[in-house]
Amino acid sequence: MLAELTFADGKVRQQCGRCGEVAWRNPLPVGMALVEHEGRLVLIRRLADPLAGYWAPPAASGAAIDEWFYGVVRDATARWRPTR
């Protein structure tokens, strides 16, 4: 049994009433990258669902491969804060 769940962004998605799993129906291709800077792996903290607040490699979605490349670069550099 699926129930409707409204997220902070106003989007309504379906959620399993028994286990709480959200049905993410987003068939866009996604590109991810492993980025090294000064011998360390670059990660970003996710701002949006699913998994908001979790650490992840830079990623982007789009219809064309160049959209993935520039999106991943933007994701990796937009919120750059060294942790040292």
Question: Which domain range does residue 64 map to?
Answer: 2-78
Domain count, the chain: 1
Is 48 within the bounds of a domain?
Answer: yes
Neighbours of 63 (CB within 10 A): 9
User: Distance between alpha carbon 25 and the CA centroid of its chain, in Å?
Assistant: 14
How far is 56 from 17, CA to CA, in rounded Å? Answer: 28
pLDDT tens-digit profile of 20-45? 888 777 667 778 888 888 899 888 88
pTM of the model: 0.53
Is 84 within the bounds of a domain?
Answer: no
Is 83 within the bounds of a domain?
Answer: no
Q: What's residue 84's pLDDT?
A: 56
